[in-house]
Structure 1
Amino acid sequence: MAVCASPFCGKDTESTLKCPVCLKQDLENVFCDQKCFRGAWGIHKYIHQQEDGEVYNPFPNFDFKGDLRPHYPLTPRRTIPKHIKLPDHAKGGRPLGELANDRRGKITVLEGKDLEKIRKVGKLGREVLDAVAKHVRIGITTDELDAILHKECTKRNCYPSPLNYFNFPKSFCTSVNEIICHGIPDQTKLKDGDIVNLDVSIYYLGFHADLNETYYVGDKAKADPDTVRLVETTRESVELAIAAVKPGMPFREIGNIIEAFATKNNVSVVRTYCGHGINSLFHCQPDIPHYAKNKAIGIAKPGMVFTIEPMLCLGTYKDVTWPDNWTSSTQDGKYSAQFEHMLLVTEDGCEVLSARQADSPGGPVPRI
């Protein structure tokens, strides 16, 4: 049994279908069928140009908006120990429970033992994020961070939720500089002056946790006034929104709070992506837009769990997606930052299930 080499598939397959060049070079790449092969050819063909093992850009003709480039090849999909419980997308790539719930539009309310479980999962998610963030440094690759994340998940008997979620090839998302979200870990080396968002999601005890933070790489980033203004505004906007969460709060109000603070600090709010409900499903209702005058449906009730995760930008809020169908960049190439927390609505407010600990890496820096 092998994994289909198409980055848009990721399913296990018993097929022996190889492209002619792979066959000639005796490379271990197989495809489910001709459809997968044809759909992946635009990316796959660049593998054959790198016989010396050098890293390469698989999309040389794409109009990148900033300085960042993908650095392939990607390492093979990391394996999961057999004893770890899998979410429904782990093998086939499709989260069937989510898709079914999307048709119903139901907002789940947790109670009893389910609350104890999701608190435990949220705490483990924080442990994993902190363990990976300690390794953020100049020169480390985002793929090396992915390997650390994967190990930290599996040693806690957790499944890294992004792995094979709609065929995502890695165990978490690493979004550097102008990347808004969904960056794929690869051979990119972090450099002084970068910022990197680590977006961690885990599955344990039948529930998901989801949280992320943006970290400064080296001292150069902390010395740039615009970079600090962006990162700290994003961090503080989440805290302001969390302070407003309580029973009866309309979900649309979160966007009003965040955009007002973003505008005050001369940054923009991404509209394409939003926060979401999370429980036994990775992404579900309610939707939590982060921009003002949105049309979010519903009000907060005790037992609901959802994320607030605004993405703010130094320039335009508009985005463009790389040809890998995942990586989302700002349209003007300017930096973007994101922070995410996972919240449980209580009787008189909310509980931050992904709260930072006293020894958590990162944290706020003074504005310049």
Structure 2
Amino acid sequence: MIHYKSREEIELMRESAQIVSKTLGMVAREIKPGVTPLHLDKLAEEFIRDHGAEPGFLGMYDFPNTLCMSRNNVVVHGYPDDKPLEDGDIISVDCGALKNGFYGDHAYTFQVGEVAPEVKKLLQVTLESLYLGIAQMHAGKRLGDIGHAVQAHAESNGYGVVRDLVGHGIGRTMHEDPQVPNYGKQGRGKKLQEGLVLAIEPMINMGTHRVAYLPDNWTIVTGDRKHSAHFEHDVAIVDGKPDVLSTFNYVFEALGLPEEDFSVPAKI
């Protein structure tokens, strides 16, 4: 069942989402060759608690960390480890926070040092795909419109769109109805309505769309072990239009990039 949110609830969700956004901004300042994901995970937990929230992922489904950190060919659900980041890596940092009874859930894929041009393009197109999906989130449109926008852009650039994992509704629980695939047909699926809040999160692979589970039954990697990128925003429908509750501006500020602008292609 879909839980539509009131204006007051959406503002509480914005507060949770912004804490996650600020956490990613803090992480952005710390990511560099030689730093370990476990160190970043510890910093993130302290940062979230210092801002009056609880880490949203810690303990969920028995996950032992604050951040999901997915390097190179890991699509999502990577465990932070003690292997230092290397020049040329990319790493998706997915973070959640719980405050005032509502969750925020937000992800960004970072470049570590100097990244190969073809990998940089993958990140660029994935981020653009997110923005194109968000642009479809108007009252009266359909869930399929979001997925179609993401899929069309990614596949037109030769990339694989992950089918096994999807975005989701979000609110008092981290994962609510409806599921939000990153593929679909225009005009199909559930009608979008005022008060709907979604976590839209394209997961785009450089090669095949297929994925595989590692023996831990949690970490998900690309089927051909090529790189994958992942970006995520929390978005509400307010006055019939998309209202993005999270922001990459803290990340962009840390990286020296222009402010986020959903009307133009992303710059990363």
> If the length of structure 1 is used for normalisation, what is the TM-score?
0.67
Among 126, 138, 142, the alignment partner of 1:246 is 138
Cα distance in 2, alignment partners of residues 250 and 361 from structure 1: 35
Q: Note if contact 2:159-2:207 (Cα within 8 Å) is conserved in structure 1.
A: yes
CA–CA distance in structure 2, aligned partners of residues 275 and 296 of structure 1: 16
Residue in 2 that maps onto 1:332: 224
1:236-257 Cα distance to aligned partner (Å, 9 max, x none): 0111111121001111111111
1:92-149 CA deviation, whole Å, 9 max, x = no partner?
xxxxxxxxxxxxxx11111142122112112112111111221110011110110111
User: Does the CA contact (< 8 Å) of 1:289 and 1:296 recur in 2?
Assistant: no
Structure 2 counterparts to residues 1-368 of structure 1, below 5 A:
106-219=1-114, 221=115, 224-293=116-185, 297-357=189-249, 360-362=253-255, 365=267
CA distance in 2 between counterparts of 1:361 and 1:323 reads 36
Offset of residue 360 of structure 1: 3.4
Can you list the C-alpha shifts for 1:336-367, whole angstroms capped at 9, x where unaligned? 0010000011123111001222653345557x
- The Cα of 1:185 is off from its aligned counterpart by 0.4
Report if the CA contact (8 A) 2:34-2:84 is conserved.
yes
What is the number of residues matched between the two proteins?
258
Alpha-carbon separation, structure 2, partners of 1:209 and 1:176: 22
Contact 2:132 2:149 in 1 (8 A): yes
Q: Deviations over 1:2-60 (max 9, x none)?
A: xxxxxxxxxxxxxxxxxxxxxxxxxxxxxxxxxxxxxxxxxxxxxxxxxxxxxxxxxxx
- Which structure is higher in RCO with an 8 Å CA cutoff and minimum separation 6? 2
Sequence identity percentage: 32
Aligned to 2:260: none
Tell me, what secondary structure is at the counterpart of 1:134? helix
d(CA) in 1 for partners of 2:182, 2:203: 8
For the residues of structure 2 that align with 1:298 and 1:118, how far apart are their CA atoms? 22
Aligned AA (2:253): S
Alignment partner, residue 263 of structure 2 = none
- CA 150–295 in structure 1, closer or farther in 2 if over 3 Å, else same: farther
Q: Which amino acid aligns with 2:78?
A: G
Q: TM-score by structure 2 length? A: 0.92
TM-superposed CA distance for 1:293, in Å, is: 3.9
The CA RMSD measured in Å over matched residues stands at 1.7
Read off the aligned partner of 1:205 and give its amino acid letter.
N
Secondary structure at the aligned position of 2:65 is classed as coil
Alpha-carbon distance in structure 2 between the residues aligned to 1:166 and 1:357: 30
Shift of 1:295: 11
Select the structure that is richer in strand: 2
Structure 2 counterpart SS, 1:254 = helix
SS in 1 for 2:135: helix
Going from structure 1 to structure 2, the CA distance change for 1:183 and 1:155 (only over 3 Å counts) comes to same
Going from structure 1 to structure 2, the CA distance change for 1:256 and 1:112 (only over 3 Å counts) comes to closer
Look up the equivalent residue of 2:112 and give its one-letter code. Answer: V
Provide the rounded CA distance (Å) in 1 between the counterparts of 2:134 and 2:54. Answer: 27
